[in-house]
Amino acid sequence: MSERSRPIDVALFDYGAGNLHSLAKGLEAGGARVTVTTRWDEALAREALVLPGVGSFGAAVGALAGEEARVRDALEEGLPCLGICLGMQLLFDTSEESEGEGIGFIPGQVRRIRARTVPQMGWNDVEAGEMDDPLFRGLPQMTAYYANSFVCEPTDAAYTLATSTYGHDRFAAAVRRGRCWGVQFHPEKSSAPGLRLLENFLDEVEGMAHE
């Protein structure tokens, strides 16, 4: 575990669609005390929220259970959040994958990858954008693991921190609005750089607690 004065209390939301073990272990290695929960009351009461990348947009929307506005309000009020793959997509308004509305914290839509082979499975470069963002501290060049068929299109490019290219399709690899970040790749499967990114997120949460 990373050396901290105390663990960071993090809620890892469970959509009920997969194994969250590796992500929980990655967060714990960065210095978090992780609570896996299906209850929004519990999730929004922690120091930070992590939306994992397991499942489909439709299943995740179902797990929101009408709480979209409540979650959005918590993010507007400054609750630190990291959305991973599907979790990043859930931060947006809608998706081509399924009916239903996401949290709508980052304006934009989710669309299918425009490439011959879908899904994208494997390693890909995260290309420099706003790589001076603290989420990428110590990671000037990063290769990350992807497993996705859909990507996010923010309505404003200012939300995009970094991009990746698959085939001829260039898409947002990372986004940020306020204290909320999203990454399209899986840091928990991206070796040491991915674990560094999770630790960087926790560093930011810890710093925000002292503001």
- Measured distance between the N- and C-terminal CA atoms of the chain, rounded to whole angstroms: 24
Catalytic one of 186, 199, 204, 206: 186
Cis bond upstream, residue 140 (ω within 30):
no
Using a 10 angstrom Cβ sphere, with 0-12 exposed, 13-18 middle and 19 or more buried, the burial of residue 107 is middle
d(CA 63, CA 58): 9
Q: What is residue 127's DSSP assignment?
A: B
Which is the catalytic residue, given 47, 68, 97, 188? 188
Q: Is 31 exposed, middle or buried (0-12, 13-18, 19+ CB in 10 A)?
A: buried
Catalytic hit among 68, 81, 85, 152: 85
82 three-state secondary structure: strand
Q: What beta strand segments (E) does the chain contain?
A: 8-13, 32-37, 48-51, 81-84, 94-95, 108-112, 120-126, 142-148, 150-154, 160-166, 169-177, 180-183
Is 188 catalytic? The answer is yes
The residues annotated as belonging to the active site are 85, 186, 188
